[in-house]
Chain A
């Protein structure tokens, strides 16, 4: 094991895949300077190793970054397109949703679209309405796409590898706060399979399901509740589509209680999907109705007191967990 940041681990993962497979390449804005442009060290040094044909610094042209990735994928290479913020990802929703996600199906399976699109999600202090959004549910809702949202450096590296090796278009969502978070990364290849959750803490009284940065907050909440003598099982989904129903069902059948926590706006979010699905499949095992927690249905405000009001904090998750436990 080696301790490293999320940004470093994912960069290592990309570099390893590029060494392994000459068909893998990356494209995005501001990638090509030695220090990786304005990115959070995600591309530092890669241009030196792989050159400008495989680390492609693009114009500010989101539609074409995404569309070019689609074209490249159907023509035989494996692009990793970086749209930087999920907010700019919306500039290219058309190419991702109408093209990447549907080409294989519309054309009767003649082509696959093996691409990865990286989009950073989450509130990072004061980034405000157009640089803070968590849009994972948009893509989970889109047939044809795979969606992953790793929450640790090891999972970031391992899931990026799986995403690159997959023949489907994969949306890889990384929380901005995680870039600097550190964790142990295995020294071996460390591939993390898509669709497999990780039970990061075992417990008997409550199942807490989350993903990305929120899964780390859920671990804190479980620790706090352990102090009250409550044992909480924390599941980090890591992949949102497909998601690991088996792991969640098994846990809920054991604990009888489920709280799903997400950073995104709660209304119409992915937690609603998990809650409904578990209710449909594990109703008999539930001691109380499934609960969820997410952000209020509002744009992300700038000023700190308002941003704090928006945020899904450990305190808010804790309160909802206590409510679930008491019911």
Chain B
């Protein structure tokens, strides 16, 4: 792993803890889905934790983030409350969206997390708009947009790249390249030399890194974010990674070669970060304690969510719009 002056063990431990939190959250979300407590679909971020954490560690609370369908990790890394997120997945009172959104629509505007998204690449165009507001308001915030390697073939992504460059907007596009989109190997449906070249053709600086290397993500992001914040215009980071599980919790992913998955397990970010910590003076006991603490934290959220009250059905009618809000047809409400 590359090294960096910022790699004091205490800081790395803090980042590792966040990664553990995401991993534990995702495992719990999957279990809750299979237990019938979480509905819809759950796209787990398992195996990609170092990207969200390495990126968001270099952002300010007031920076903006737009995400996609696989958004739990991004949300936690940006500072969204995992307790409220778990309540949201369970559709209970106290959820991030009051139970209206569920897994694919986590948002926490209080920490600049402008929303996960059920529609591929729609976060890209929202990002450039947020950046235009930043500019109008003369702020020094930046916007980070997470997009998958499958998503880069939608028009809005390419339109957003062009737009961001034309107006030199403070946007960081982060393509999490896990090489697969649902069940399709993206290489088979993507022309050209890849995402970085695509961005460069718009004049946008692009760098490809090992997304499973927390330190490479961290140090690259530190540099890139500083450049963008100083008015350097948009940039793109392609973070290579691997989706360790199915597309969503109910996908057994049996279309993949088990050998490929096996190999990926050796390169996954938790294992690598843990190995670094052990080499750099953090004890086995300390790591075990950290894991136990995080597992207990998540288990507590699950326990709370299982027992939390359901939102009253009538709440469905709130927050639709100010003027002309709905009433149930024929029931006079």
Contacts and interface: CB of A to CB of B under 8 A. Distances in A.
Interface residues of A, number: 51
Contact of A129 (B101, B120, B255, B314): B101
Interface string B158-202: 000000000000000000000001111000111000000000000
Interface string A295-309: 111110111111111
Given A57-B189, A302-B40, A37 B182 contact: yes
Which of A58, A87, A128, A304 neighbours the largest number of chain B CB atoms within 10 Å of its CB? Answer: A128
Contact of A298 (B120, B121, B320): B320
B118 A309 contact: no
Given A296-B328, A297-B320, A59 B190 contact: yes
A310 interface: yes
B118 A304 contact: no
B153 A60 contact: yes
Contacts, number: 151
B102 A303 contact: yes
A110 B118 CA distance: 39
Interface stretch (B56-64, B258-266, B276-284, B305-313): B305-313
A64 B189 CA distance: 13
The secondary structure that dominates the B interface is loop
B120 A33 contact: no
Nearest to B183: A37
Interface of B: 38-41, 88, 91-92, 95, 97, 99-102, 104-105, 117-121, 150-151, 153-155, 181-184, 188-190, 247, 251, 255, 310-317, 320, 324, 326-331
Q: Which 10 residue pairs of A and B lie closest in terms of their CB atoms, listed nearest first?
A: A126-B39, A303-B91, A130-B118, A303-B99, A302-B102, A59-B153, A306-B316, A126-B40, A309-B313, A59-B189
25 contacts: A30-B182, A33-B183, A33-B184, A37-B182, A38-B182, A57-B184, A57-B189, A60-B150, A60-B181, A60-B189, A126-B40, A126-B91, A127-B40, A127-B41, A128-B40, A130-B104, A291-B330, A293-B329, A301-B100, A302-B100, A303-B102, A304-B39, A304-B310, A305-B313, A309-B314
